[in-house]
């Protein structure tokens, strides 16, 4: 196979149907797209006769040569030979790659469509110059798509390629429903951390159907080139040591105090009042609105969105999706709480729809909910694997489907397994995962930490789990854009759980816990802004190895201040915590109050 240096970053696939092209001339549209920065053009026309195909392809080739851009013909090797263009793109049911290579020669560019891992692997072994992987999203421009991959499926296929030396360097281009609103998410979330990323995206309607193809191509080119707003700022050092992470927590909480970030909560009526009061206590400005139509205006106010799946209805899911898209467009954080995700088939379907709607900066839930989200993302692994390639060993572990989601390990996980569960979802979604329980875990693709603070009373009051999402949203809001959402989530958890420990020591029971909890949240926030972080001295943060889940570091903590004893999660919506409040923690806060 000849060495072909091709820029696949913005790959245009034409569509001459009236529904997409309208009454315009395809060559004029392609000419504008080339001026906008398209790097490859594929001429696809399934209905015209051979004479017309050759005529249009000849005109297109004149245009592409002027811009030093390769022209590929979909399916029709005879047309490519007649025109003398750079190559062809073949589907799974078209001429074999070997026959096309024999006819076109070693210098021709030959791409192959792939809808699962083994189709991709087989094409690489056969000598494909690049892969067109899709469909990523549903699209009206191409009927008969075998299945929709989504970004998780795309990442899975790239991972299969990465594990094989013969495949890992073959360029891959994603196709199917990609446009201005999702292109950055596709590029970002499909990356196999930290080894493999897409070489480009293929678009159809986003350019061909645009009233201004040149402007559409130029904007897509910019989006492909620039990092998305939810990506960590390049050059920013990511702290890993627990002591270094804890040193950043006061800055996050002080920023919440000083900037009063907007926290837009889409949640059920039962918890709205409590979540709003928690937002005020931590310095945020709450808006409790479940109406998706106003999300675009709210997103422009510079806050963050919390989508809590407490109540699931078709109308509600539609509102969630509108809001997620609006906040993604504005480049603002989104926190998703998949409440009760695994309880019913309806809720699993809702999770799937929300995951497909856009980028989620943080996914927060208990162990069962996080496992369900992972299971929903991976439920098509068997389909994505496909049939073993020729010469493949069906008993080779690499060639067998992996177990899925909650079935991937024992039902009773230890802390190392819980850490790995959070990391796996974080890598799949390229986001931060907050997994709550007797021990809380926070993970991103490269890091994992845990802490065991809080109190069992958190599980005895409705709405505490939901309101934690509110605090996380406020912390992420002040860390945007390009900030460290991992540190922000840990800051939110520490403020929330340590405040609960202190409040538990002041109250008489669950009835008096809520006002005490709100008071302590506000006290810790204001004292931090004034430079007093004594309450944080009691924090114990454990760092886990993201590859095996083992604890590799703990911040310095006197031996007498061991983490509270763990107990199973209580019933109700809150996060299950045991632990009696630490007497030392109460003394710190009470001493401060007595001295004021």
Q: pLDDT for 529-574, tens place per residue?
A: 999 999 999 899 999 999 999 999 888 544 343 434 444 333 344 4
What phi and psi values does residue 587 have, to the nearest 5 degrees? -65, -40
Whether 466 is a known active-site residue: answer yes
- Cα(287)–Cα(30) distance, integer angstroms: 46
User: Per-residue pLDDT averaged across 204-230, rounded?
Assistant: 96
What phi and psi values does residue 252 have, to the nearest 5 degrees? -65, -45
Residue-level length of the chain: 596
- Cα(399)–Cα(388) distance, integer angstroms: 6
Average pLDDT, the chain: 87
Nearest of 515, 410, 383, 493 to residue 449 by alpha carbon: 493
- What does the pLDDT read at residue 63? 98
H helical segments located in 260-386: 269-281, 295-299, 314-330, 345-357, 367-378, 381-385
- 130, β-bridge pairs: 111
- Cα(129)–Cα(490) distance, integer angstroms: 45
For the stretch 126-129, contacts whose Cβ atoms lie closer than 8 Å and that sit 24 or more positions apart, written own/partner, are 126/96, 126/97, 126/98, 127/1, 127/97, 127/98, 127/101, 128/97, 128/170, 129/1, 129/4, 129/6, 129/87, 129/170, 129/171
- What does the pLDDT read at residue 10? 99
In percent, the amount of the chain with pLDDT more than 70 equals 85
- Cα(320)–Cα(504) distance, integer angstroms: 35
pTM of the model: 0.84
- 40, β-bridge pairs: 11
- Distance, CA of 115 to chain centre: 21
- Cα(576)–Cα(502) distance, integer angstroms: 16
- What does the pLDDT read at residue 384? 62
- What does the pLDDT read at residue 564? 41
User: Per-residue pLDDT averaged across 138-160, rounded?
Assistant: 80
pLDDT digits (tens, 9 = 90+) for 311-359: 899 999 999 999 999 999 999 999 999 999 989 999 999 999 999 999 9
Catalytic residue among 466, 476, 507, 524: 466
Cis peptide before 481 (omega within 30 of 0): yes
Evaluate if residue 51 carries a pLDDT over 50.
yes
Domains within the chain, CATH numbers bracketed? 10-225 (3.20.20.70), 242-386+397-595 (3.40.1190.20)
pLDDT band at 587 (very low <50, low <70, confident <90, very high): very low
At 448, is the secondary structure helix, strand, or coil?
strand
Phi-psi region of 48 (alpha: psi -120 to 50; beta: other; left: phi over 0): beta
Are 521 and 529 a contacting pair, CB within 8 Å?
Answer: no
User: Per-residue pLDDT averaged across 71-77, rounded?
Assistant: 98
Cα dihedral across residues 280, 287, 250, 365: positive or negative: positive
Cis peptide before 135 (omega within 30 of 0): yes
- Cα(367)–Cα(31) distance, integer angstroms: 53
In percent, the amount of the chain with pLDDT more than 90 equals 77
Residue with tokens 């996980």: 413
């Amino acid at each position: 196979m000849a060495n072909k240096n091709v820029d696949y970053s913005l790959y245009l696939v034409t569509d001459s149907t009236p529904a997409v092209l309208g009454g315009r001339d395809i060559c004029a549209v392609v000419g504008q797209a080339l001026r906008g920065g398209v790097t490859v053009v594929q001429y696809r026309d399934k209905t015209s006769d051979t004479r017309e195909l050759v005529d249009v392809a000849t005109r297109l080739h004149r245009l592409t040569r002027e811009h030093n851009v390769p022209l590929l013909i979909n399916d029709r090797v005879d047309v490519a030979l007649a025109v003398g263009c750079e190559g062809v793109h073949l589907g799974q049911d078209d001429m074999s790659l070997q026959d096309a290579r024999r006819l076109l020669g070693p210098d021709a560019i030959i791409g192959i469509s792939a809808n699962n891992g083994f189709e991709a692997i087989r094409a690489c072994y056969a000598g494909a110059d690049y892969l067109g992987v899709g469909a990523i999203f549903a699209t009206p421009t191409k009927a008969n798509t075998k299945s929709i991959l989504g970004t998780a499926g795309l990442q899975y296929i790239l991972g299969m390629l990465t594990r094989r030396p013969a495949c890992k360097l073959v360029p891959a281009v994603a196709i199917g429903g990609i446009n201005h609103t999702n292109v950055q998410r596709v590029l970002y979330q499909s990356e196999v951390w930290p080894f493999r990323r897409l070489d480009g995206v293929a678009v159809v309607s986003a350019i061909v159907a645009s009233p201004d193809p040149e402007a559409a191509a130029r904007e897509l080119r910019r989006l492909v080139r620039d990092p998305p707003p939810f990506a960590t700022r390049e050059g920013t050092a990511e702290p890993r040591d627990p002591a270094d992470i804890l040193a950043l927590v006061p800055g996050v909480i002080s920023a919440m105090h000083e900037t009063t970030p907007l926290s837009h909560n889409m949640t059920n009526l039962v918890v709205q009042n409590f979540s709003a009061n928690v937002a005020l206590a931590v310095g945020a400005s709450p808006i409790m609105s479940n109406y998706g139509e106003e999300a675009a205006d709210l997103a422009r106010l510079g806050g963050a969105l919390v989508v809590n799946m407490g109540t699931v209805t078709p109308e509600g899911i539609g509102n969630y999706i509108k809001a997620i898209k609006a906040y993604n467009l504005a480049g603002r954080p989104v926190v998703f709480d998949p409440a009760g995700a695994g309880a019913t088939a309806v809720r699993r379907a809702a999770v799937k729809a929300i995951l497909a709607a856009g980028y989620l900066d943080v996914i927060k839930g208990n162990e069962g909910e996080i496992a369900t989200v992972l299971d929903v993302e991976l439920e098509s692994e068997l389909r994505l694997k496909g049939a073993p390639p020729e010469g493949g060993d069906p008993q080779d572990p690499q060639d067998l489907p992996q177990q899925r989601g909650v079935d991937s390990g024992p039902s009773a996980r230890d802390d190392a397994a819980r850490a790995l569960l959070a990391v796996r979802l974080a890598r799949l979604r390229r986001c931060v995962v907050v997994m709550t329980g007797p021990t809380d875990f926070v993970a991103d693709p490269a890091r994992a930490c845990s802490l065991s603070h809080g109190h069992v009373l958190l599980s005895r009051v409705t709405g505490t789990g939901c309101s934690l999402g509110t605090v996380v949203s406020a912390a992420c809001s002040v860390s945007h854009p390009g900030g460290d959402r991992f540190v922000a989530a840990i800051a939110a958890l520490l403020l929330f759980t340590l405040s609960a420990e202190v409040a538990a020591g002041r109250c008489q029971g669950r009835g008096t816990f809520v006002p005490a909890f709100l008071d302590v949240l506000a006290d810790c926030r204001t004292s931090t802004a004034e430079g007093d972080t004594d309450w944080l001295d009691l924090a114990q943060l454990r760092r886990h190895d993201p590859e095996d889940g083992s604890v590799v570091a703990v911040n310095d903590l006197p031996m007498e201040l061991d983490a509270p004893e763990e107990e199973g999660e209580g019933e109700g919506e809150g996060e299950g915590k045991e632990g009696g409040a630490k007497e030392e923690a109460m003394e710190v806060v009470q001493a401060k109050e007595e001295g004021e």
